[in-house]
Amino acid sequence: MLIGSRQKLNSQAVVPALEINGTQLNRVNVTMSLGVLIDENLTWSNHINALSKKISSGIGSTKRKSHCVPPATLQNIYYGLVQSHFDYCSVVRGNCAKTLSDKLQKLQNRAVRVLAHSSYDADANQLLTELG
């Protein structure tokens, strides 16, 4: 992977051939390291899109269980299936674009509404404060 701005990478007339011990390396645009997707422009969009799918799936599972388990158990399900994804490597992606961080915030709002058994249009900020 070559890392740089889109303009710099697009202006490369010839892509350098990379070898290790005579073996040609394939160029990739995105790679995963320790569960974090890193792209050649360091934009975090691939990582946050994949993360959003995992979180959305966890929220759906939590919602399906919300009517048949006690609140304490529901909270444990949330921490295992949803919050763990928000917490993992959050410092690394802390400088992502506002549109990407807004995408994660919308998922957090959706999750808190599920935990509070609220409607989709309830004030998430108030629910976040109430639930801590």
For residues 4-8, average pLDDT: 79
pLDDT at 72 over 80: yes
What 3-state class would DSSP assign to 88?
Answer: coil
> In whole angstroms, how large is the CA radius of gyration of the chain?
20
pLDDT at 50: 93
For residues 26-46, average pLDDT: 87
- Phi, psi (5° rounding) for residue 57? -65, -40
Q: Which helix (H) or strand (E) holds 24?
A: strand 23-24
pLDDT at 29: 85
For residues 68-96, average pLDDT: 85
Asked if 100 contacts 44 with a C-beta cutoff of 8 angstroms, the reply is: yes
Q: Which helix (H) or strand (E) holds 66?
A: none
Asked if 93 contacts 49 with a C-beta cutoff of 8 angstroms, the reply is: no
How does residue 13 score in pLDDT terms, banded at 50, 70 and 90?
low
pLDDT at 85 over 80: yes
pLDDT at 15 over 80: no
Percent of the chain at pLDDT above 90? Answer: 15
The full set of domain ranges for the chain reads: 1-42, 45-131
Q: How many residues does the chain have?
A: 132
